[in-house]
Amino acid sequence: MPYGEAAIAEAVRVIASGGCVAVPTETVYGLAADASDARAVAGIYEAKGRPSFNPLIVHVLDLAAAEKIARFDDAARDLAARFWPGPLTLVLPVRADAGVASLVTAGLSTIAIRVPAHRAMRALLAACGKPLAAPSANASGGISATRAQHVVASLGDRVPLVIDDGATPGGIESTIVRGDEILRPGPLTADDLFPCEGRGPDSESKSGPLPLQGNITAPGQLASHYAPSKPVRLNATEAQPGEWLIGFGAIPGNDTLSASGDLIEAAANLFDALHRADAAPMRAIAVAPVPATGIGIAINDRLARAAFPRG
Ligand code: TXA
Ligand code: MG
């Protein structure tokens, strides 16, 4: 249903009756439900086929609403002041009286919270008047959705309503921060977030590629994630027989993330390109190298997980 007053009114009805609704944010489409309603939150897990240990992000309209749910220290308040509304998720201690279903945090003592900038998600939050839990609107482990059609392809009739407001402007999920640690690289880099810490550009300690396995601090950051249904080969300079090549910069492909080598454009196109590659008749996918600087760090993080063999 196209974004507008009618779609928001219908979405409010679905959410008030305990359902979930797909809605765009500035990063990717989210699957939103009333964060205070345990059954509604269970419905999100059900629709995504998501393991119940993987907690969700709570979306609110502003910092004041966030402070009712989580305990902010000065550093968190400073990040919120600088980057909200925007693609930043803060992991903070959850308040005992937060009024959020425990399924949202999957029993953790912390909660992931963000203030989105997109008009559709903001209109929905304002009309519902309560915090909305919303993971990315894709089947668990699958490619995130940057268009309404991706949501329908991934979740089908498990989602009663998709608010279609076109392609999402950003294309990559929010940066997740706990203290001064980046749990998931995203549109905001370490240099954006922590500029006065005297580290060089994209220093490894704060923004380097996360370990693909081992101690998972953002529980959703599983090694295999964002995964198409066929093998993905990275750092490809040309297509091998049977491969669909996603190009970048000087390496043209069947498709390209950005012919001019623009990383912002590449981020916005990433999941769309993976969806097209998945739907192509070839048996495998190859991806040209993308520089790991700025938002390229997040692009490489998602590509590494898309390429990780599923077990
Ligand atoms: O841009 C985004 O962040 C999108 C839009 C829809 O807001 N949402 C999103 O949600 O990417 P999701 O559920 O796909 O990813 C949330 C990530 C997961 O990796 C989850 O493990 C992590 O946040 N997370 C949630 N709560 C956490 C917590 N208390 N501590 C650490 N990680 C947490
Ligand atoms: Mg996700």
Cβ(30)–Cβ(59) under 8 Å? yes
- Residues 112-168 have pLDDT tens digits of 999 999 999 999 999 999 999 999 999 988 999 999 999 999 999 999 999 999 999
Pocket lined around ligand 1, Cβ cut-off 6 Å: 25, 27-28, 30, 54-57, 87, 89, 91, 105, 108, 110-112, 134-136, 173-174, 176, 183-184, 218-221
Spacing, Cα 239 to ligand 1 middle (Å) = 34
What the block records as the tokens of 164 is: 């279609």
What ligand 1 atom has the least distance to the C-alpha of 108? 29
**Can the peptide bond before residue 169 be classed as cis, meaning omega within 30 degrees of 0?**
no
Residue 135 CA to ligand 1 centre (angstroms): 6
Specify the pairing of strand 232-233 against strand 284-287.
Answer: parallel
User: For atom 27 of ligand 1, which residue has the closest CA?
Assistant: 112
- The runs of H, that is alpha helices, within the chain are 5-16, 38-48, 63-67, 74-83, 102-105, 119-128, 148-155, 190-193, 204-207, 263-279, 296-307
Tens digits of residue pLDDT in 70-102: 999 999 999 999 999 999 999 999 999 999 998
Rounded-to-integer distance, Cα 179 and Cα 90, Å: 8
Are 157 and 169 a contacting pair, CB within 8 Å? no
Which percentage of the chain shows pLDDT scores above 90?
80
How far does residue 71's CA lie from ligand 2's centre (Å)?
Answer: 24
- Give the residue among 3, 5, 11 at the shortest CA–CA distance from 161: 11
Which ligand 1 atom lies nearest to the CA of residue 114?
Answer: 7
Instruction: Please report which confidence band the pLDDT of residue 285 belongs to, taking 50, 70 and 90 as the band edges.
Output: very high
CB atoms within 10 A of CB 132: 28
Q: How confident is the model at residue 107 (pLDDT cuts 50, 70, 90)?
A: confident
Spacing, Cα 304 to ligand 2 middle (Å): 15
Domains of the chain (ranges, CATH numbers): 5-215 (3.90.870.10), 232-307 (3.40.50.11030)
Residue ID of nearest Cα to ligand 1 atom 19: 220
218 or 91, which is more confident?
91
Among all bound ligands, the one having the nearest atom to the CA of 54 is 1
Q: How many angstroms is it from 240 CA to the middle of ligand 1?
A: 35
Q: What is the pTM of this model?
A: 0.88
Measured N-to-C along each axis, helices 296-307 and 263-279 cross at an angle, to the nearest 10 degrees, of 20
**pLDDT tens, 153-178?**
999 999 999 999 999 999 999 999 99
